[in-house]
Structure 1
Amino acid sequence: MFRFFTTALAATAVLGLSACMGGQGDGSSSTVNSSGNGTPVLTSESLLAAMGGNQPPAGVGCGWGVASDPDKVNVAFPDSAAKYWVTLAPITPGTRLKIQGKFPDARYFSFNAYDAAQRPTDAIADVELEPDGGSVNSFRQVAAAGGAYTAYLQFGASPTQQPSVPRAKNTLYAGDIQLGTRAVPNSGLVMLIYRVYVSAKGEFADGGVGLPTLTVETADGGRELGTLPTCAEPPLPNLGGQLPPLGLNDRLLALDYPNQLALDFPTAAYPPRTNRFYGLGEVGTQVLNARLGTDIQTPGSVSLGAGGFLSNIHNAYTSTTFSRRFGSLALVRAKAPTFRSQPGVDRGAENLRYWSLCANEFATQRFTACSADFQTPVDDDGYFTVVISDPADRPANATAANGFAWLPWGPYADQVLIYRHMLENPGFAQAIQRVPKGTPIREVMGDYTPLGTYCNPAVFTQSVRPSDVFAACVAEQAQNPPTLVLGR
């Protein structure tokens, strides 16, 4: 599904560039330059000339080609409190993308660039942006939203990948693609994602300021090559918000998975394990550990590719995976960090800008539901306790009034609870971001570590306090582990 929309997005980008750049070239008939040995080299002029042509169909040329809409495209483990907009930007040694926008009325926004493997190469967050003259960055100080900024997506090595690379003001970089021992520039059509979290207003969750305008210009900013058409909402996947809801997610969640169908799922271990996400390569190691009951750690010096699944550089993630072959009622508990805009927490004193818990299915990358920080009950001990089950299996006492967050399991054999930490406070030593590769999570996160367990529903309903329920469930599992555990 994601490949289909990526292909469609590429077509949209080409058509949009055709509309805004047709006839603006230098008149040269050459579309591809050559290096000294005759090898074709993609340059800014050749790329733009190749895209010259006809006016695109109405709406197709929107600078932002795809917007997230979990009702129709629920992939890449999204967060329900966020909205994502995607473009493919023509980035070559001779061009850059100018991004002109306004600071939204929202908790957070950012731009992330990606390579062909869906790994982030660089990013710039709201608080890092210098406002235009006469404007105020409302993410740096208390001020009304709507101030203007100008940012750039530039060709070249990224400070995220190479800390020695200096960062120009308000600039993120396309970065490099690692091919073995070689670093190849990420260029051509580079994926750029604009994210807005917890939008306070705006029909399309854009924070009430619309979408940023995208202009392709020469790398030195001396000449504009064309501005992509603006729109309120991209054409994909729902024709600018015109298509009616499909209700697919609600239909799926209404299904009651047969508990007797205890399929073997390779990412789930018993007892449940919580892993930090470092990259796609480490996911393979985690699957191996789950299958063999081992605890192999990828050395901190070994990099198998940072990120993946269109992850956000400003987030760090843990995952706790469950399988119905071990039980159909699952719990995760941890001490709750404080967050921006939390009542009683001063601005700037919060542990994190944002955190959330999302229930997902691994193979399809779909989420069933999420609980954002402001939606998640915190008990008198300062902990959150998440309960995951089918609606029919939800214990009667698993309510917000009792201090529980309940998430639907969905019609799947497995369940992956993804825990996000965004933009950690420098003084918050227990953030997921602080866990080095190869270090057990609990050594760093302490009580903030998400701990998972299964539970017998009869045990769950014997108490009301989340701490007592969780302790009783852990004890019951220790005494009566499932018989399907490998090696038993």
Structure 2
Amino acid sequence: MTMKTKTTTTPVRRALLIASVAALMGGCNGSDSKDTPTEPDNMAFSAPPSDCLWVGPYVRENEGFNFAYPDSGAIYWSAAYTLPEEGAYISLEADFPYSRYMSFNSYRADTTPAQVLTDREIVPNEGSINPFVDGAVRTEPSRRYQITIKPGDANDPNQPGEPNTLNDATSSVGEQAVIIYRNYVPNNGTDRTGNVGLPRVTLHLADGSTLQGDEACAALSVGTERLSIPLVPATTYEALRANFEPARETPAFRATYGIPFIFQCDFQGNCANNPPRNTAFYANVDNQYLYSFLNQRHGDVVVIRGKIPEVPATLDGQDFFEQGELRYWSMCQNEFYSQAVKECLFDEQVTINPDGFYTIVTSLPENRPENANANCGVGYLPWPDQGDGFSIVDGKADDPDAAFLIMRHMLPATDFEQTVQNTSVAGDEASVMGEYLPKATYMKRSEFEALGCEPYTSLSYGQL
């Protein structure tokens, strides 16, 4: 692939860092070694290994866990628990994963995010480093951290923020808390946890005593079922779908302001509003989203062009972390009603054409053009299997021609302005994002194939 990445580490600084890593790592070398964490004698875990807190992984390959529009470049685990008494709290201990990004989000009962504790904000244990800080050594094996999760609202002015602390959005004993742990783009050659396992839990009781592992999970009444997402009532969706086609002949990419506005704008044609941004479905605070409804009835294939901001390259276990304009970018094909993901392409998987833009085609697999491949500079996303996924409700039929495309922007740099995060009014996407806003057009398969290899030469972004 031909992605650009921003380089901030000078040759002198890099040489010093390499020398220090060599001294710390001793005889550790090669891709297998740098992707496998070691256990220094003075860095033993205080909590025993136990995954009893976590449910998942939420990935498309795990039957029953593909919902809430997951990104196939990421892995998710949820924890639902109830603190047993006033004054109790939990702590989590782990190594930072060998990956692109990790975070902990807490959620309100309506599935909207309450707070996020992002990798770069976490202060590592003494003697460890945080590999997600710009310029950090990603291969450093001493990478331990510990965070605290307490009840309360992070937005409460009477509750001052504390380092390495996440508030779980509960207000009383007996109220269930929900947190989600995310791990994006584990290094090649590592497992889904980035070769560090899942965070280990300790329950701290009001009298100062602690419980760990399975004992802690029992006292916390940890839920063992996957999270549930409230679906739009089937009768409501069926009526809206029958009366208004949300997919436009020229695909529209809109910033997400929540499901109510999607129904108002895309299913009723009233987009003249200034809605609050209130994305639910256990969204990630660090992401903002564009979406577009598509329908095969407008054409065999959809051709999408746009620009990807500079991102840090991490997939191949690069030695240093170098923050770009954005931490992560992806485009995903989804079923709108079932919330299942079919497939995503994330930044390091996308070829950038010589004109600086990507070209992505999406279609039913049987309609895939022969020139929709990486050798011709084209990324490919297959159409979702069940269209809009309405058959998740007994007795309801899918619209097999429908699809729901989602694009993510994660953690933009403060000086990168053309990001979804800076949209604020419905309809301002083009003026804010410029060439980073995707443009799309429908074509017949034969029309796209007639463009030959390197079809982007005939598909100027400005003409879409």
Q: Is 1:321 the counterpart of 2:300 in the alignment?
A: no
Any idea what SS the aligned residue of 2:109 has?
A: coil
* 1:252-291 C-alpha deviation (Å, 9 max, x unpaired): xxxxxxxxxx998743233211111133333233324xx4
Q: Is 1:456 the counterpart of 2:449 in the alignment?
A: no
**Cα contact 1:397–1:461 (8 A) shared by 2:** yes
- In the TM superposition, what is the alpha-carbon distance from 1:93 to its structure 2 partner? 5.2
**Distance (Å, rounded) in 2 between the aligned partners of 1:187 and 1:376:** 47
Any idea what SS the aligned residue of 1:79 has?
A: coil
- In the TM superposition, what is the alpha-carbon distance from 1:437 to its structure 2 partner? 3.3
Task: Give the aligned partner of residue 311 of structure 2.
Answer: 339
Any idea what SS the aligned residue of 1:401 has?
A: helix
* 1:287-334 C-alpha deviation (Å, 9 max, x unpaired): 24xx43x432325xxx3x622111111111111210123223112211
Calculate the TM-score normalised by the size of structure 1.
0.69
Task: Give the aligned partner of residue 182 of structure 2.
Answer: 195
Q: Is 1:142 the counterpart of 2:137 in the alignment?
A: yes
**Cα contact 2:50–2:200 (8 A) shared by 1:** no
**Distance (Å, rounded) in 1 between the aligned partners of 2:432 and 2:410:** 17
**Aligned pair partner of 1:375 in 326, 341, 349:** 349
Task: Give the aligned partner of residue 396 of structure 1.
Answer: 370
**Cα contact 1:456–1:473 (8 A) shared by 2:** no
> Which is worse superposed, 375-384 or 139-148?
139-148
**Distance (Å, rounded) in 2 between the aligned partners of 1:346 and 1:226:** 34
- In the TM superposition, what is the alpha-carbon distance from 1:149 to its structure 2 partner? 0.9
Task: Give the aligned partner of residue 338 of structure 2.
Answer: 364
Aligned-pair identity in percent equals 30
Q: Is 1:68 the counterpart of 2:61 in the alignment?
A: no
Task: Give the aligned partner of residue 425 of structure 2.
Answer: 437
Q: Is 1:216 the counterpart of 2:216 in the alignment?
A: no
> Which is worse superposed, 409-418 or 335-344?
335-344
Any idea what SS the aligned residue of 2:162 has?
A: coil
In structure 2, the CA distance between the partners of 1:201 and 1:393, relative to structure 1 (3 Å rule), is closer
In structure 2, the CA distance between the partners of 1:222 and 1:229, relative to structure 1 (3 Å rule), is closer
**Which has the higher relative contact order, 1 or 2, with Cα contacts under 8 A spaced 6 or more apart?**
2
**Cα contact 1:333–1:452 (8 A) shared by 2:** yes
**Cα contact 2:308–2:329 (8 A) shared by 1:** no
In structure 2, the CA distance between the partners of 1:201 and 1:223, relative to structure 1 (3 Å rule), is farther
**Distance (Å, rounded) in 2 between the aligned partners of 1:346 and 1:385:** 29
**Aligned pair partner of 1:113 in 96, 106, 111:** 106
In structure 2, the CA distance between the partners of 1:199 and 1:450, relative to structure 1 (3 Å rule), is same
**Distance (Å, rounded) in 2 between the aligned partners of 1:228 and 1:461:** 58
**Distance (Å, rounded) in 1 between the aligned partners of 2:383 and 2:331:** 13
**Aligned pair partner of 2:251 in 250, 272, 284:** 272
Stretches of structure 1 lacking an aligned partner (at least 5 in a row): 1-58, 177-183, 238-261, 476-488
**Distance (Å, rounded) in 2 between the aligned partners of 1:236 and 1:380:** 48
**Cα contact 2:439–2:461 (8 A) shared by 1:** no
**Cα contact 1:88–1:189 (8 A) shared by 2:** yes
Instruction: Name the Cα RMSD after superposition.
Output: 3.3
**Cα contact 1:157–1:174 (8 A) shared by 2:** yes
**Cα contact 2:59–2:72 (8 A) shared by 1:** no
Any idea what SS the aligned residue of 1:62 has?
A: coil
**Cα contact 1:155–1:187 (8 A) shared by 2:** no
- In the TM superposition, what is the alpha-carbon distance from 1:222 to its structure 2 partner? 3.4
**Cα contact 2:148–2:164 (8 A) shared by 1:** yes
Following superposition of structure 1 onto structure 2, how do residues 206-355 of structure 1 map, counting pairs within 5 Å? 206-218=193-205, 222-228=208-214, 266-288=245-267, 291-292=268-269, 294-299=270-275, 303=276, 306-341=278-313, 347-355=321-329
Task: Give the aligned partner of residue 409 of structure 1.
Answer: 383
Stretches of structure 2 lacking an aligned partner (at least 5 in a row): 1-48, 218-222, 227-240, 388-400
In structure 2, the CA distance between the partners of 1:175 and 1:63, relative to structure 1 (3 Å rule), is closer
Any idea what SS the aligned residue of 1:442 has?
A: helix
**Distance (Å, rounded) in 2 between the aligned partners of 1:266 and 1:229:** 53
In structure 2, the CA distance between the partners of 1:117 and 1:334, relative to structure 1 (3 Å rule), is same
* 1:363-411 C-alpha deviation (Å, 9 max, x unpaired): 1111111111111111011111211101211111111112111111133
Q: Is 1:89 the counterpart of 2:85 in the alignment?
A: no
Letter in 1 for 2:286: H
Letter in 2 for 1:445: M
> Which is worse superposed, 267-276 or 89-98?
89-98
**Aligned pair partner of 1:125 in 118, 121, 145:** 118
**Distance (Å, rounded) in 1 between the aligned partners of 2:335 and 2:361:** 16
**Cα contact 1:97–1:154 (8 A) shared by 2:** yes
In structure 2, the CA distance between the partners of 1:201 and 1:331, relative to structure 1 (3 Å rule), is closer
**Aligned pair partner of 2:456 in 427, 442, 467:** 467
Letter in 1 for 2:118: A
Letter in 1 for 2:200: T
Aligned residues: 374
**Distance (Å, rounded) in 2 between the aligned partners of 1:189 and 1:116:** 8
**Aligned pair partner of 2:410 in 412, 422, 431:** 422
Task: Give the aligned partner of residue 161 of structure 2.
Answer: 167
In structure 2, the CA distance between the partners of 1:224 and 1:276, relative to structure 1 (3 Å rule), is same
Letter in 2 for 1:271: T
Letter in 1 for 2:185: V
Following superposition of structure 1 onto structure 2, how do residues 174-189 of structure 1 map, counting pairs within 5 Å? 174-175=168-169, 188-189=175-176
Q: Is 1:79 the counterpart of 2:77 in the alignment?
A: no
Following superposition of structure 1 onto structure 2, how do residues 12-31 of structure 1 map, counting pairs within 5 Å? none
> Which is worse superposed, 83-92 or 404-413?
83-92
**Distance (Å, rounded) in 1 between the aligned partners of 2:172 and 2:447:** 56
**Distance (Å, rounded) in 1 between the aligned partners of 2:167 and 2:289:** 23
In structure 2, the CA distance between the partners of 1:438 and 1:428, relative to structure 1 (3 Å rule), is same
- In the TM superposition, what is the alpha-carbon distance from 1:94 to its structure 2 partner? 2.8
**Distance (Å, rounded) in 2 between the aligned partners of 1:93 and 1:277:** 38
